[in-house]
Amino acid sequence: MNQKVEIKNRKAKFEYEFLDVYTAGIKLTGTEIKSLRNHKASIAEAYCYVHNTEAFVKNMFIAEYEQGGYTNHEPRRERKLLMNKHEIEKIEKKLKDKGITIVPTKLFINENGFAKLTIAVARGKKIYDKRDTIKDKDIKRDLDRSLK
């Protein structure tokens, strides 16, 4: 395993303000992990939810494996997140507040070969917060240019 697999949700940091960040395992089938190792996945439209003290990620795209045959998986199926019961209860309490959601931020394979998903309990940003973020990026970019 020479290649490092790391798929990010770049819009998440711009669209949301992160309150808490957790790392969870994902329950995948064989063809899904093979496709993930080939960097054929996207978490741009994905979201998470909690149901009956279990966490799930929905709408996460993992492309079908080319050599999968009849054992291939559905690309956008619902996948279970593997987390401690204590962590899930903590997230559930925070979700009761208005405007709070769970956003997947990064999908990666750790050094042991297991697929992990970094999720964040987040609050949506207002338009003026987004403008501030853009302004900060522009100022930082200008400073970097002037230092060179």
Domain, as residue range, for 89: 6-147
Judged against a pLDDT cut of 90, whether residue 90 lies above it is answered with yes
**Dist. CA 47–CA 45, nearest whole Å:** 7
Do the domain assignments include residue 93?
yes
- pTM attached to this predicted model: 0.80
Question: Residue with structure tokens 């002037």?
Answer: 146
Tell me the one-letter amino acid at 81: L
CA distances from 13 to 10, 104, 134 (A): 6, 10, 12
State the Cα–Cα distance between residues 135 and 68, nearest whole angstrom. Answer: 47
Query: Does residue 3 carry a pLDDT above 80?
Result: no
Question: Would 1 be classed as within a structural domain?
Answer: no
> Which of 7, 4, 55, 62 minimizes the C-alpha distance to 31?
62
Q: What are phi and psi of 64, to 5 degrees?
A: -65, 145
Structural domain contains residue 101: yes
Is residue 90 in a domain? yes
Tell whether 109 is covered by a domain. Answer: yes
State the chain's mean pLDDT as an integer: 89
Domain contains 123:
yes
How confident is the model over 118-140, as pLDDT tens digits?
Answer: 999 999 888 877 888 889 889 99
Classify residue 87 by burial, with Cβ atoms within 10 Å: 0-12, 13-18, 19+: middle
Question: What single-letter amino acid sits at 37?
Answer: R
Residue 143 lies in a domain: yes
Kindly give the residue spans of alpha helices, DSSP state H, lying in the chain: 10-15, 30-37, 85-95, 127-147
Which of the pair, 113 or 1, is modelled with greater confidence? Answer: 113
Run of H or E residues at 80: strand 79-82
CATH of the domain at 103: 2.40.280.10
What's the structural domain count of the chain? Answer: 1
